[in-house]
Amino acid sequence: MQNEKLQVNLAPGMDKVEMLIREVKEANELPVKEPVKIAIQGTIGAPLEFLKRRMDQPDQINQKRSHILVDRENITVNLVYNENDEYNRGTVTGSLQIHPKFKEFGINTGKVWAPTELGMFFKMNRAFFTTKEENMKLVNELMNFTATVNNSLQKSANEKGDRTDYFNQVVNSNLPKSFNLLIPIFKGSKPETIEVETFAQIDGRDVAFMLISPGAQAVMEELRDAVIDKELKEIREICHDIAIIEQ
């Protein structure tokens, strides 16, 4: 370190000051880092909310350099901004998710339930049935499940070479063919009344059940499109020049 003169000006009333001088071998500078890329995931309204709060910042949102990808099958709306800037490109993805409790019922998923297992599950989820009485009736019937499986097999052949090979299987049980649930299908949506059917699956003498609901499938399709269309309509109202692309 070379000797250099250092002048210190004291504040009025001060007659001395203590100074600490350190010598460093290298310049004490912060390293240059790349910008932090934004990758946000949230509810279906996340892209709209982000645009509402950032539209007044031209350095961040340039509509001509942004686009939205809509995937109705997976129920997602994905905003990409600064699309041509590798360092500052960001994404905001909004998705509509199936309600966890609806998933647990395994409706339309091929999930197989043993009668007593299904009975216990219904008992612990009484709140999602339209009436307490219907729930208790189902639980009792499942916990005391009885069924008769009738099989018939017909085979025949004639001199012309025609053959008949016919198998018929019928399950007679004390369980009703359908029941009603009052349950939200998507997160954040209101409960829907849906009819659920019990479909028997037979393995020898054992009978298990799958839960199916054409009505729930129809409601899912309607809600999905209605929610996505609502979000896109509001985005178009505030972002006239942003490209919206259906996948």
Residue 187: what pLDDT?
87
Residue 197: what pLDDT?
93
Summarised one tens digit per residue, pLDDT across range 170-191 is: 556 667 789 999 999 998 888 9
Residue 166: both structure tokens together: 């016919």
What gap in Å lies between CA 165 and CA 246, rounded to an integer?
49
What gap in Å lies between CA 205 and CA 233, rounded to an integer?
55
CA distances from 206 to 57, 102, 153 (A): 65, 26, 19
Residue 235: what pLDDT?
95
Q: pTM higher than 0.75 for the full model?
A: no
What gap in Å lies between CA 197 and CA 211, rounded to an integer?
6
Asked whether 178 and 196 are in contact (CB, 8 A), the reply is: yes
What gap in Å lies between CA 6 and CA 3, rounded to an integer?
9
Scanning the chain, the segments in alpha helix (DSSP H) are 46-54, 100-105, 115-124, 132-143, 214-238
Residue 153: what pLDDT?
40
Residue 167: what pLDDT?
40
Residue 30: what pLDDT?
77
Residue 204: what pLDDT?
66
Residue 67: what pLDDT?
96
Amino acid at 42: G
What is the β-pairing status of strands 67-71 and 178-183?
unpaired
Kindly report the length of the chain.
Answer: 247
What gap in Å lies between CA 247 and CA 228, rounded to an integer?
13
Scanning 40-196, the segments in alpha helix (DSSP H) are 46-54, 100-105, 115-124, 132-143
Weakly modelled stretches of the chain, pLDDT under 50: 151-158, 164-169
Residue 6: both structure tokens together: 């250092």
CB atoms within 10 A of CB 108: 16
Residue 17: what pLDDT?
76
**DSSP of 206-229, one letter per residue?**
EEEEEEE-HHHHHHHHHHHHHHHH
Residue 217: what pLDDT?
92
Summarised one tens digit per residue, pLDDT across range 95-145 is: 998 999 999 999 999 999 998 999 999 999 999 999 999 999 999 988 887
Residue 173: what pLDDT?
62
User: How many helices (H) does the chain have, and how many strands (E)?
Assistant: 5, 10
Residue 195: what pLDDT?
96
